[in-house]
Structure 1
Amino acid sequence: MNEKLLKKIENVNKELIKSHSVIAITGQIASGKNFVCSQFEKFGWNCVDADSLTHEAINIAAPKIIEEFKRYEEQFNVKITNEDGSINRRAIGNIVFARPELLAKQEEIVYPIITKMAEDFISAHGKVIINATVLYKTPILLDRCQAIVYIKSPVFKRIFRIRRRDNLPYNQIFKRLKSQRNLLSKYKITGKQIIVIKN
């Protein structure tokens, strides 16, 4: 266990918990956001995870997503539904991460659902953390956050974590890393308080 990291998290919590009710924890893929959130939860924060909300939103919006992306199956040599008719998330990922405009199409479908679910979570809880990589794409939720905790981690560590966790081929890993370049700058322009934690 990294004692220096744990001490930093403890100090950041002391700074934020007195006067903040909603904060964001963000950072690039596999930077360690979930671990940091788990530590904040020990101090009484309630964490809502955008990845979990996205999975739920995709299930809710599955018929619309299938209708929208069925046309790309042949082009990307994938099948976007499983044998039971459920949505094939990996196939959808192959499509949407290949071209920015396709990712934007999926986001148009699922982000309003995610926003509503997160708003409901905030209303039902006291101290709330929104754990999300691209929270800047949901301005309503970002506006609710009084501070942003940004987790930084070396790229080689993140590649290793992604391979171990998701078993993705390297070309897909690099596409996802590329899609999140300059992420910190997206949050700096908000003018919100940003605290960087190195993991």
Structure 2
Amino acid sequence: MTLHVGLTGGIGSGKSTVSARLAELGAVVVDYDLLAREAVEPGTPGLAAIRERFGDTVVAADGSLDRPALGAVVFADEAARRDLEAITHPAIRDLAAARVAAAPDDAVVVHDHPLLVEMGMAAACDVVVVVDLPPELQVRRLVEQRGMAEDDARARLAAQTSRERRLEAADEVLDNQGSREDLLAAVDALWARLTSDR
């Protein structure tokens, strides 16, 4: 029987590191950030709907989505963000369903989703894993590792659900205040727990 694992964490939490390690260990990872990109590739209905709602300024010269331009609009305007989500979320759900359907019956399917809690998807998972660290450390890592301006990093964090709400949904919490090696060791231990009776 398929085991559905929800994996989430705020921006800069280390969720991508956890996801990559789970894939190495044998999980079937459904990466919702990648699906979000697929849903708005040139020629898709998703990109056409975004252009219709937000105008030509959010489409680059090569016909692809201009993510920074769109981000500047939606992160500053709650209604605009909701409009974008109404366009992209159904397309992403359809792509995810196809990935899950293609997985082996006995797979550990990891739903790597930054909005797992916000979108109410946690309830559909057998286990919810949250990669966690204090917000100030998230901001510092976003500034140091991704080159974000501090104000931008704080705005991105503010646009996501609260740390408390995410932790309330968690069955497993991976603390990422330490080194990368510490986090990978925690993932390996998690994998052992998830697969112990399979």
TM-score w.r.t. the length of structure 1 is 0.76
Identical positions, percent: 25
Alpha-carbon separation, structure 1, partners of 2:37 and 2:24: 25
Alignment match, 2:87: 109
Q: Is 1:22–1:130's contact at 8 Å kept on the other side of the alignment?
A: yes
User: What is the match of residue 172 of structure 2?
Assistant: 195
* Cα separation, partners in 2 of 1:170 and 1:185, compared to 1, 3 Å: same
Q: Secondary structure at the match of 1:84?
A: coil
For the 8 Å contact 1:28–1:133, the answer to whether it is kept is: yes
The runs of 5 or more residues in structure 2 that have no matched partner are 177-198
Corresponding residue for residue 169 of structure 1: 149
Could you list the structure 1 runs, at least 4 aligned residues long, displaced by more than 6 angstroms after superposition.
none
Question: In 2, distance between residues paired with 1:168 and 1:174?
Answer: 10
Distance in 1, matches of 2:40 and 2:117, equals 19
**Aligned partners of 2:118 and 2:158: how far apart in 1?**
17
SS at match of 1:22: strand
Unpaired runs of 5+ residues, structure 1, are 1-18, 74-78
Q: If the length of structure 2 is used for normalisation, what is the TM-score?
A: 0.76
> How many Å apart are 1:103 and its aligned residue?
0.8
Alpha-carbon shift at residue 166 of structure 1 (Å): 4.3
Correspondent of 1:135 among 116, 125, 131: 116
Correspondence for 2:68 among 90, 97, 112? 90
Alignment of structure 1 residues 33-182 onto 2, 5 Å: 33-59=15-41, 60=44, 61-70=46-55, 79-125=57-103, 126-139=107-120, 141-164=121-144, 166-182=146-162
The question of whether the paired residues in 1 share the 8 Å contact of 2:130 and 2:167 is answered with no
Equivalent residue letter for 1:55: R
Counterpart-to-counterpart distance in 1, 2:172 and 2:58: 39
| 1:23 corresponds to | 5
